[in-house]
């Protein structure tokens, strides 16, 4: 099967933020293998006013600044004029929560835009007229969308075919089948009397598979019963 390179455009007011998360491990390797190209866009450079500001006070009053339409519209419009995008994603806590199914779907995209929000949020009209998908990464509040963008991007990139060389490795991850992973062990088999379950040393692959299935189910029931519904 042939897969062309995925392109991800991230729009942010903190472009340097991503230097760390995108230059290690699988995300780094995926870029080196030409499986993905990540482009970071500094929102401030798209602001047309003298101060290069990107936010303003809220109509109707209330605390917290709101990100302006103009720089975001200009940045997104420029990108859209260059290629067709599968989704234009806005990261915000008031959105459906990210799960493995969403990451799976997004991993077959050709081009994605990810917009990182800040301050109180963005002008609603951006969401109404420009954004095609909204994602939260969980029920807690982050200072900005950048950390969420790094999380989303990582979860997508590791699913692009050919990125993880041992393809079964991504498939056996927790959540891939709505089950948590089973416990894993490596040498030594006995560390200060902390022993590895004997069955894993038995060499009986069939029994080992059964044990792993049982443990996955047991862990899921105990820790995340909501996944079994």
Task: State the Cα–Cα distance between residues 141 and 145, nearest whole angstrom.
Answer: 10
- Binding of residue 94 to ligand 6GU (CB under 6 A): no
Task: State the Cα–Cα distance between residues 179 and 147, nearest whole angstrom.
Answer: 25
Q: Which of 6, 54, 72, 91 binds ligand 6GU (CB under 6 A)?
A: 91
State the number of binding residues for ligand 6GU (CB under 6 A): 12
Judged by CB under 6 A, the stretch of 58-66, 77-85, 134-142, 171-179 that binds ligand 6GU is 134-142
Judged by CB under 6 A, the stretch of 7-15, 138-146, 185-193, 201-209 that binds ligand 6GU is 138-146
H-helix or E-strand spanning residue 113: strand 111-116
Residue 101: CB minimum distance to ligand 6GU, A: 17
- Binding of residue 145 to ligand 6GU (CB under 6 A): yes
- Binding of residue 153 to ligand 6GU (CB under 6 A): no
Residue 98: CB minimum distance to ligand 6GU, A: 8
What is the b/e burial string over 68-104, where b = at least 16 CB atoms within 10 angstroms of the residue's CB?
Answer: bbebbbebbeebeeeeebbbbbbbbbebeebeeebbe
- Binding of residue 92 to ligand 6GU (CB under 6 A): yes
Residue 13: CB minimum distance to ligand 6GU, A: 13
Which residue, 1, 31, 4, is CA-closest to 110? 4
- Binding of residue 21 to ligand 6GU (CB under 6 A): no
* Beta carbon nearer to ligand 6GU, 13 or 179: 13
Alpha helices in the chain (DSSP H): 25-32, 69-82, 100-106, 124-129, 145-157, 167-171, 205-223
- Binding of residue 136 to ligand 6GU (CB under 6 A): yes
Residue 32, class by beta-carbon neighbours within 10 Å (0-12 exposed, 13-18 middle, 19+ buried)?
exposed
- Binding of residue 144 to ligand 6GU (CB under 6 A): yes
With vertex at residue 68, the alpha carbon angle to CA 63 and CA 73, rounded to the nearest 5 degrees, is 155
> For binding to ligand 6GU (CB under 6 A), which residues are involved?
91-93, 136-138, 140-142, 144-145, 148
């Amino acid at each position: 099967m042939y897969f062309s390179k995925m392109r991800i455009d991230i729009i942010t007011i903190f472009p340097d933020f991503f230097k760390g998360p995108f230059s290690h491990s699988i995300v780094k390797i995926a870029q080196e293998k030409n499986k993905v190209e990540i482009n970071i866009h500094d929102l401030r450079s798209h602001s047309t006013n003298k101060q290069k500001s990107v936010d303003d006070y809220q109509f109707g009053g209330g605390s917290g600044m709101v990100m302006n339409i103009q720089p975001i519209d200009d940045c997104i419009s420029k990108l859209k004029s260059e290629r067709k995008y599968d989704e234009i994603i806005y990261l915000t806590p008031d959105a459906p929560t990210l799960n493995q199914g969403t990451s799976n779907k997004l991993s077959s995209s050709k081009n994605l835009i990810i917009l990182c929000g800040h301050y109180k949020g963005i002008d609603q009209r951006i969401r109404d007229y420009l954004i095609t998908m909204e994602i939260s990464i969980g029920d807690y509040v982050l200072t900005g969308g950048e950390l969420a963008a790094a999380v989303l991007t990582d979860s997508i990139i590791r699913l692009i075919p050919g990125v993880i060389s041992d393809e079964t490795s991504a498939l056996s991850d927790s959540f891939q089948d709505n089950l948590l992973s089973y416990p894993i062990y490596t040498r030594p088999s006995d560390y200060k009397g902390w022993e590895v379950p004997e069955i894993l040393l038995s060499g009986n692959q069939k029994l080992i598979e059964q044990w792993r299935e049982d443990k996955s189910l047991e862990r899921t029931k105990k820790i995340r019963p909501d996944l079994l519904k």
